[in-house]
């Protein structure tokens, strides 16, 4: 793309990690650390804000909001939050008199946003 004078940072970063053989940008390590500690305390979790102490990278967050909740608060925190998110999405969609096609499109886009949150770093900085 650069030979056409197009410079897209996200594409360049992806190609860089692809050429290194690991497109996860090291996030798989964070996921594994969070899962390992979640398995040790699946019910109550490890405590909010303690992920920094559990990894050698000094990273504050897991880069996956579901794993973050599982790690920090265990099942006791994660299940109610997921129920609230689901109910909020359904309530929002039901507020409007949508056609079936539009309902499906909006539901699809909402699911994509939730998946994006699972792999994005911004949520941890809030």
For 83-106, write each residue's pLDDT tens digit: 998 898 888 878 888 888 888 888
Which is more confident, 72 or 65?
Answer: 72
Torsion, Cα 71 73 78 81, to 10 degrees, reads: -130
Which tokens belong to 68? 């973050």
**Global confidence as pTM:** 0.67
Count of alpha carbons within 13 Å of 72, Cβ hemisphere only?
19
> How far apart (Å, rounded) are the C-alpha atoms in residues 13 and 83?
35
Average pLDDT over residues 43-72: 86
| Residue 60 buriedness (CB in 10 A; 0-12 / 13-18 / 19+) | middle
């Amino acid at each position: 793309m650069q030979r056409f004078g197009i410079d897209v940072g996200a594409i360049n970063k992806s190609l860089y990690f692809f050429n290194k053989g690991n497109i996860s940008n090291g996030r798989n390590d964070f996921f594994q650390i969070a899962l390992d500690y979640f398995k040790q305390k699946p019910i109550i979790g490890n405590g909010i804000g303690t992920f920094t102490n559990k990894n050698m990278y000094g990273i504050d967050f897991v880069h996956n909001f579901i794993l973050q909740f599982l790690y920090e608060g265990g099942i006791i925190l994660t299940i109610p939050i997921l129920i609230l998110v689901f109910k909020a999405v359904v309530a929002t969609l039901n507020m409007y008199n949508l056609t079936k096609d539009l309902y499906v499109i909006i539901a699809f886009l909402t699911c994509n946003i939730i998946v994006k949150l699972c792999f994005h770093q911004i949520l941890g900085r809030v």
